[in-house]
Amino acid sequence: KRLILEYAKALRPQNLGGGYGKALEIWLAPGNSEMDVVQNKITLEKVDGTTSEISDGFSVADVGYNPEIYVGDEVHEGGLRVRRDDEGRPIKPVFDINE
């Protein structure tokens, strides 16, 4: 977790640095599941851990980070946001986009 946050802060210090950085949490969803997350179909998985738990076979070449870049009104209002409980479960019912 700490490695991912430190890497992300180096790439996007304006969003992830400063006083907020220490309180950030990382939650995972399966790849290509953004729409399912938005529609409350998926429970997120919290990432816990520290750099001391990194295996000996770890390579920084295996790390990637592709942040969402905000433009226009999103700069002030933010981009995609979802709400979850402390276990990563949706707090609202599942819905379809075309409802």
pLDDT in tens, the chain (99 residues): 667 777 777 777 776 777 766 777 888 898 889 899 999 999 999 988 766 776 777 776 666 666 677 778 777 777 778 899 999 999 999 999 885
Residue 26: predicted pLDDT: 82
Give pTM, 2 decimals: 0.66
Residue 77: predicted pLDDT: 75
Residue 45: predicted pLDDT: 93
Q: Is the dihedral of CA 8, 11, 14, 19 positive or negative?
A: positive
End-to-end CA distance of the chain: 37
